[in-house]
């Protein structure tokens, strides 16, 4: 009796190799893994974050049923170039990267400033985006009234965010939420190959400038959101100290085909506190045959 050789294990968050593609003179670092077929999900990361700051429980969970693409935008970590200092320019760079991969339609998951970029990408390159997931983010000229005054200091005081920083910025003060922060930290440090270098000071300063510019209105408040016609899922924790949760309600109210989920006892990183629930909610949304009208 002959035994068929076992198929090699499918690449995962921890094992997918770094790949590179060039667009407009920028060499973008990316990782693609997951299912071979289906609409790819492109992940857009938070302030100062790179590919290694994504939670494997989220990325591998979604990759079970669809292709997942993580990448570093211009100037971030292992990608070349200088990070632009506006959200719109970062969105144009993300579009250039997506098109350089030969993709014509993607789903987009934007977290924090990545959610700003995801909105601008959808508005400026409408044809590329099939469905949109916005986590821990806000619309242009959103509400920072409930933002913790220590956020800026904590988010920029170290070359690389520490566990202490992340527990304050991403998680609620409760024992359960803080413990979830430690589990997230442990999961994010499982990768042993092709680990990203820290993001640069130039990236931090450019992204900070983009965040400040995003506070300025363009026309009537939230008018741009009405032009996002793609089905959209908005998710946040019940008290986000970085991007106040009220902004998630504004997104859901003004994007015509949006729905909102708020997770309990959680903050900015609610997707990392409840990764299994987040994967289930996002998976159902991406698989839905029709959108809410």
65 contact partners, CB below 8 Å, separation of at least 6? 34, 35, 38, 283, 287
Number of structural domains in the chain: 1
The verdict on residue 292 lying in a domain is: no
The verdict on residue 169 lying in a domain is: yes
Q: Is the pLDDT of residue 215 over 80?
A: yes
Q: How confident is the model at residue 289 (pLDDT cuts 50, 70, 90)?
A: confident
Q: How confident is the model at residue 216 (pLDDT cuts 50, 70, 90)?
A: very high
The pLDDT tens digits of the residues spanning 128-156 come to: 999 999 999 999 999 999 999 999 999 99
Q: How confident is the model at residue 293 (pLDDT cuts 50, 70, 90)?
A: very low
Place of tokens 């000229």: 141
Residues 155, 135: Cα–Cα separation, whole Å: 18
Torsion over CA: 83, 224, 230, 246 (sign)? positive
- For the chain, what is the mean pLDDT? 96
Both structure tokens of 95: 């579009």
Q: How many CB atoms lie within 10 A of CB 81?
A: 16
The verdict on residue 230 lying in a domain is: yes
Strand partners, 44: 110
The verdict on residue 2 lying in a domain is: no
The pLDDT tens digits of the residues spanning 151-183 come to: 999 999 999 999 999 999 999 999 999 999 999
The verdict on residue 14 lying in a domain is: no
Could you tell me how far CA 149 lies from the centroid of its own chain?
23
pLDDT for 125 equals 98
192 contact partners, CB below 8 Å, separation of at least 6? 14
pLDDT for 270 equals 98
The pLDDT tens digits of the residues spanning 44-101 come to: 999 999 999 999 999 999 999 999 999 999 999 999 999 999 999 999 999 999 999 9
The verdict on residue 219 lying in a domain is: yes
**CATH number of the domain residue 244 falls in:** 3.40.50.1820
pTM as predicted: 0.96
Residues 172, 28: Cα–Cα separation, whole Å: 34
Residues 80, 267: Cα–Cα separation, whole Å: 32
| Phi, psi of 279, deg, nearest 5 | -60, -40
Residues 28, 125: Cα–Cα separation, whole Å: 19
The verdict on residue 235 lying in a domain is: yes
Domain that holds residue 242: 19-287
Residues 136, 247: Cα–Cα separation, whole Å: 9
The verdict on residue 127 lying in a domain is: yes
Average pLDDT over residues 254-279: 98
> How many percent of the chain have pLDDT more than 90?
94
């Amino acid at each position: 009796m002959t035994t068929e050789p076992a198929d090699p294990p499918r690449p995962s968050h921890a094992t997918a190799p770094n790949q590179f593609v060039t667009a407009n003179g920028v060499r973008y670092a990316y990782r693609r893994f997951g299912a071979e077929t289906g609409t790819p999900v492109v992940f857009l990361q938070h302030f100062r974050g790179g590919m290694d700051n994504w939670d494997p429980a989220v990325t591998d969970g979604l990759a079970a049923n669809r292709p997942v693409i993580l990448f570093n935008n211009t100037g971030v970590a292992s990608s070349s170039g200088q990070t632009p200092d506006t959200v719109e320019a970062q969105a144009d760079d993300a579009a250039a990267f997506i098109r350089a991969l030969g993709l014509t339609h993607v789903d987009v998951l934007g977290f924090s400033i990545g959610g700003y970029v995801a909105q601008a990408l959808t508005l400026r390159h409408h044809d590329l985006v099939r469905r949109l997931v916005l986590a821990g983010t806000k619309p242009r000229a959103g509400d920072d009234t409930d933002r913790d005054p220590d956020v800026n200091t904590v988010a920029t005081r170290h070359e690389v965010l520490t566990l202490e920083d992340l527990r304050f910025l991403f998680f609620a003060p409760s024992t359960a939420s803080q413990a979830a922060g430690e589990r997230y930290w442990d999961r994010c440090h499982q990768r042993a190959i092709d680990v990203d270098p820290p993001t640069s000071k130039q990236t931090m300063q450019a992204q900070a400038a983009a965040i400040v510019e995003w506070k300025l209105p363009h026309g009537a408040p939230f008018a741009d959101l009405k032009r996002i016609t793609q089905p959209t899922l908005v998710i946040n924790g019940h008290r986000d100290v970085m991007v106040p949760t009220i902004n998630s309600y504004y997104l859901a109210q003004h994007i015509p085909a949006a729905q909102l989920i708020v997770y309990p006892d959680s903050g900015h990183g609610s997707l990392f506190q409840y990764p299994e629930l987040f994967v289930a909610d996002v998976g159902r949304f991406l698989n839905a045959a029709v959108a809410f009208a």
